[in-house]
Amino acid sequence: MEKQHHIQLLPGDVGETVFLPGDVSRAKVIADHFDSAELVASNRQYNTYTGMYKGVKVSVTSTGIGGAAAAIAIEELVKVGAKNLIRIGTGGMFQTWLPVPGILVITGAVSGDGLTREYFPQGYPAVADLDIVESMLASARELGIEVHEGYEWSHDSFYAGSVFSNLDILEIEKPWIDAGVLIASQEASTVLTLATARKVRGGVILASAGCHQHPEITATEEQMVKAISDATKISLETALKLHRLDHGE
Amino acid sequence: MNQEPHRQHHIDMLPGDIAPTVLVPGDPGRVALFAEQMDEAHKVAQKREYLTYTGKKDGVAVSCTSSGIGPSPTAIGTEELIRIGAKNIIRMGTCGAIQPFMKAGDIIIVTAAVRGERATEEFISIDYPAIASHYIVRAGIEACKRLKLTYHVGMVRTHDAFYLESPWAFGDYKARLQKWVDLGVLAVENEAATMFVVASMQGVRAGAILLSSDPIFGGSENDPDLDLHKQNLVRVSIETAKILHEMGLD
């Protein structure tokens, strides 16, 4: 098999669990949480590190921003053997009762993005894998990290749905806020629908620096570094649990 | 607005009339199967297609309210059950299994549903997902294991027109269904997505436990053991309610 066009990887280059940050530089930040890690490929925005965590081979591939780029990474990662795809990302929260910073385990997504619309019929649900959701919640409990579970609004235009927008975002987002959706981000719908269709597990965990209703309240950079680190720790323990489910001890 | 509890327009019940977990068959006739399997159960209300029994099984309170067929009465029933305090609303119905590996009598624990119906589009954009509570999914899987029933876990398609996508439909219904087979959808039915959307928008848990009563690509389209299989469906649904109680979720 030739190397995959974009991620430049071959079968064997990644573990069964691959973490998917959007931010290119965050691939290294996540890999630094492994017991060992080396850069196995770097092409465009796709940086992949593979290493070991408590005896299990794990990987991280940065996807860049948005559903289009994430879908390319997912299709190619599945071809080289990925079985569990876990996005570790950031977003802007919708519910004022959530803590700032907040860590959210995503159970499903509103498919407001173009990628999902092109791949799947309207109304096709973006649902997170049961094993991943349960493993994330259990790992958070074991690590003593507060998390909240719920839906993400996945959309394409950051400057139409973030606190940096010139539009009336609370008006745009009102249907989702009223329905109890927790957070805005861009890739969950793509990760969850595509993983389901390719018969692999898909999951998402997000850290958030703030809430759209209160742009004046933001987490410090130091707090966000810790929140992303906590989300990574939860994800690594999740990888171990998935390994045990599939292969025993 | 008058905030006093009032008898809900269609299901004809007040807060206190139902248990925290409510099983919802489409068929009002199936409520009798529920009542037979409970240690005790009494009729609480009957109006239109909505028949409700509430009772106890092994000390756990469970209710059963029929919804009638289709998204419209399901949206009404789900909404009114929430307004009188339902915490776990679980569809207990039949469906047409469409994957070739599925047999008559298999149980389906539904994780999510394709929104092929229109009732929920009046509430929220089609982009919003119809997803079952993962707690109910887990309880349903555990119940199937305890009762040693063959089960599948996955997605279904909810739609309005039974006579477009069933073994008794006109024309080449298999061709119409092929798209959903290819997407990995397990079965087609008429209520799950509606229940999931109405409940999840209000932060209430919903789920669906379905019986493959007429597998469309899997051989027999007339199940000779249908009565026994319907009893299994009711049994596993009551067991699911008991497990939710054990999980502290009622």
Mean pLDDT, chain A, integer: 97
pLDDT in tens, B96-122: 999 999 999 999 999 999 999 999 999
Per DSSP, B77 falls in state H
Question: Is A126 an interface residue toward B (CB < 8 Å)?
Answer: yes
For residue B239, the SS3 value is: helix
pLDDT above 70 for B218: no
Looking at the DSSP assignment, which residues form a beta bridge with residue B137?
none
CATH number of the domain at B64, please.
3.40.50.1580
What ipTM was assigned to the predicted interfaces of this complex? 0.91
Let me know how long chain A is.
249
Residue of B138, B193, B201 lying closest to A179 (CB–CB)? B201
Tell me, what's the pLDDT at B215? 85
Domain assignments of chain A as residue spans, ordered by start: 17-247
For residue B64, the enclosing domain spans 21-246
What Rg, from alpha-carbon coordinates, does chain B have?
A: 17
Residue A235: CB atoms within 10 A of its CB come to 28
Report the candidate in A18, A7, A88 with the shortest Cα–Cα distance to residue A53. Answer: A18
Tell me, what's the pLDDT at A42? 98
As a 3-state breakdown, chain B gives helix, strand, coil percent values, each rounded to 5, of 30, 25, 40
CA–CA separation, A240 and A35 (whole Å): 13
Per DSSP, B136 falls in state H
Contacts of A179 in chain B (CB under 8 A): 124, 128, 200-201
For chain B, the domain total comes to: 1
Tell me, what's the pLDDT at A21? 98
Q: Across the interface, do A125 and B129 touch by the CB < 8 Å criterion?
A: yes
Query: From the centroid of its chain, how far is CA B75?
Result: 12
Residue of B114, B127, B134 lying closest to A130 (CB–CB)? B134
- Cα-Cα-Cα-Cα dihedral of B12, B16, B21, B25, to 10°? -20
CA–CA separation, B108 and B95 (whole Å): 9
pLDDT above 90 for A1: no
Task: Tell me, yes or no, whether B124 lies in a domain.
Answer: yes
**CATH code for A17-247?**
3.40.50.1580
Question: Is A50 an interface residue toward B (CB < 8 Å)?
Answer: no
Task: Tell me, yes or no, whether B118 lies in a domain.
Answer: yes
- Using an 8 Å CB-CB cutoff, list residues of chain B that contact chain A: 111-116, 124-131, 134, 137-138, 153, 155, 179, 183-184, 193, 200-203
- Cα-Cα-Cα-Cα dihedral of A151, B25, B70, A125, to 10°? 20
pLDDT in tens, B183-206: 999 999 999 999 999 999 999 999
Is the model more confident about A155 or about B214?
Answer: A155
CA–CA separation, A38 and A50 (whole Å): 6
Report the candidate in A72, A77, A79, A44 with the shortest Cα–Cα distance to residue A60. Answer: A77
Q: Across the interface, do A108 and B138 touch by the CB < 8 Å criterion?
A: no
Q: Cis bond leading into B100, ω under 30°?
A: no
List CB contacts of B79: < 8 A, sequence separation 6 or more.
B198
Backbone phi, then psi, for A17, in 5-degree steps? -100, 125
Q: What per-residue string of b and e applies to B131-140 under the rule 16 or more CB within 10 Å gives b?
A: bbbbbbbbbb
Tell me, what's the pLDDT at B181? 96
pLDDT above 90 for A95: yes
Encoded tokens for A138: 């259990």
Task: Tell me, yes or no, whether B12 lies in a domain.
Answer: no
pLDDT in tens, A2-57: 999 999 999 999 999 999 999 999 999 999 999 999 999 999 999 999 999 999 99
pLDDT in tens, B146-160: 999 999 999 999 999
pLDDT-wise least confident of A212-216, B150-154, B165-169, B217-221: B217-221
Q: How confident is the model at residue B14 (pLDDT cuts 50, 70, 90)?
A: very high
Residue of A120, A125, A134 lying closest to B112 (CB–CB)? A125
Q: What percent of chain B has pLDDT over 90?
A: 89
DSSP states of chain A: -PPPTTT---TTSS-SEEEE-SSTTHHHHHHTTSSEEEEEEEETTEEEEEEEETTEEEEEE---SSHHHHHHHHHHHHHTT--EEEEEEEEEE--TTS-SSEEEEEEEEEEESHHHHHHS-TT--EE--HHHHHHHHHHHHHHT---EEEEEEEES-GGGSSTT-SS-HHHHHHHHHHTT--EEESSHHHHHHHHHHTTSEEEEEEEEEEETTEEEEE--HHHHHHHHHHHHHHHHHHHHHHHHHHH--
Nearest-10 crossing angle of helices A188-197, A67-79:
30
Average pLDDT over residues A220-232: 98
pLDDT in tens, B22-77: 999 999 999 999 999 999 999 999 999 999 999 999 999 999 999 999 999 999 99
A81, with CB counted inside 10 A (0-12, 13-18, 19+), is: middle
Look up the pTM and report it.
0.94
Tell me, what's the pLDDT at B221? 60
Q: How confident is the model at residue B222 (pLDDT cuts 50, 70, 90)?
A: confident
- Mutation site, A110, A124, A153, A155, interface B, largest B CB count within 10 A: A124
- Mutation site, A98, A118, A130, interface B, largest B CB count within 10 A: A130
Looking at the DSSP assignment, which residues form a beta bridge with residue A91?
A208
Chain A nearest-CA residue for B180: A121
- Mutation site, B82, B99, B121, B127, interface A, largest A CB count within 10 A: B127
What Rg, from alpha-carbon coordinates, does chain A have?
A: 17
pLDDT above 80 for B1: no
B127, with CB counted inside 10 A (0-12, 13-18, 19+), is: buried
Tell me, what's the pLDDT at B190? 97
Encoded tokens for A2: 């030739």
pLDDT in tens, A110-151: 999 999 999 999 999 999 999 999 999 999 999 999 999 999
pLDDT above 60 for B179: yes
**Catalytic center residues of B:** 214
Q: How confident is the model at residue B2 (pLDDT cuts 50, 70, 90)?
A: low
Beta B50-57 vs B40-47: how paired, if at all? antiparallel
